Amino acid sequence: MSGITRYIFRQLALGTALVSVALAFVVWLTQSLPFLQFIINKGLSISAWLKLTMLLLPSFLSVILPAALFLVTLFIYNKLTVDRELVVVQAVGVSRLGMARPALISATAAMFGGYLLTLVIVPNAFQAFRDLQWSIRNDVSQILLREGAFNQLGKDLTVYVRGRDKNGDLLGVLIHDTRDAANSLTIMAERGAMGRHDKSSRVVLFNGSRQSLAPGTGNLSVLYFDSYALDFGTLQNTPEGRYENNRERSTWDLVRAKASDTVAPHVAAKMRAEGHQRLVEPLNAVGFTCVGLAFLLTGAFSRRGQTMRILGAIATVVLVQAAALGAANLTGKDSLFTPLMYVVALLPIAAGMYIITQPDWRFSDRRTYPLGARTA
């Protein structure tokens, strides 16, 4: 790798990292706000909220990375051109492909990083996100019972908690359990602690009493205890029983999805489209970069800058992205359009590389000369 290539590559790598982090933080902030309801309504801790929302970051990065590299490429190459650094590099005999090499190396690295994200990290992270979200919403051992309110845990189980101490233990607990209609229970305790036993939720109560009506006679029976364990059972479906989202399925399962008794034809088509989208999306890193290079490395040098070329590159990328979304929607309806997704992704790469690899030209005010030709 030449000194010029290393010089430009360092700027591209650093700029892409900074822009990606900034954009990811902005997107994460907007997407994480709806999950504040878990803190407000269920008393979720800040650390658990951060863990939940951070699991969404990989899916943001897979989309942000190609766009960030494209924007940084426009900025760096425009700056090098305005400062006449690329003009000097071209004057010493470096070809257009040589000037584009740092960006192409960066784009290739971003593409492989994108495949790592879309094929491995994103499905696993999203599955962990869904499992944690399910547990927070449905698992009594994970959620924090609302203080000062009657919490309905299932059809026949009500729990009231007056408050909590600094260790998270329950204070002032009242439980009304009518799951066994012949032996309903009312339990009061000074304090309690939530826990798990096998696959069910359990609360251990301390210093309280249990009241029940004797079957048949209806006599009230009162039991005072120092400690008492009550099994809440499996109040909700387990995470294994929930519906699996396409984003947490493996790419191989999505690509070979077929209609069956449990999967409707239109659902299978959407699954296959999602799988192919994972294979196509990382190619945008190279495609967008080639578009930017094709606009900025061609044409005459102008002291007025390259505003129109930059706008043209941005407009082209927007059109390519719109076409990609359209192809994905068509594929989600009919698998015959699957090749169109790959055509839309590969066309900017092919067109950009064709333009970049064309012979270099040196421009004067009125006439155009090939590089190395002598002017009269």
Please state the domain extents for the chain. 3-138+249-370, 149-235
| pLDDT given at position 289 | 95
pTM above 0.85, yes or no: no
| pLDDT given at position 41 | 61
| pLDDT given at position 51 | 85
Helix (H, G, I), strand (E, B) or coil at 99: helix
DSSP state of 165: -
pLDDT, block means (10 residues), the chain with 376 residues: 83 93 89 75 72 87 93 92 80 82 94 93 89 69 66 78 80 86 85 71 86 75 87 53 73 82 78 90 94 85 74 94 93 89 94 84 42 40
Dist. CA 317–CA 66, nearest whole Å: 11
> Phi and psi (nearest 5°) for 364?
-105, -165
Dist. CA 134–CA 129, nearest whole Å: 8
Q: Which residues contact residue 277 at a Cβ distance below 8 angstroms, ignoring those fewer than 6 apart?
A: 328, 341
Phi-psi region of 43 (alpha: psi -120 to 50; beta: other; left: phi over 0): left
Q: Measured between alpha carbons, how far is residue 250 from residues 62, 253, 282 in Å?
A: 16, 5, 16
| pLDDT given at position 200 | 62
| pLDDT given at position 266 | 80
Token pair belonging to 291:
């578009």
Q: Where are the alpha helices (DSSP H) in the chain?
A: 3-32, 36-42, 46-54, 57-82, 85-91, 96-116, 122-138, 251-255, 265-280, 284-296, 307-333, 338-356
Contact present, 349 and 287 (Cβ < 8 Å): yes
Residue type, 78: N
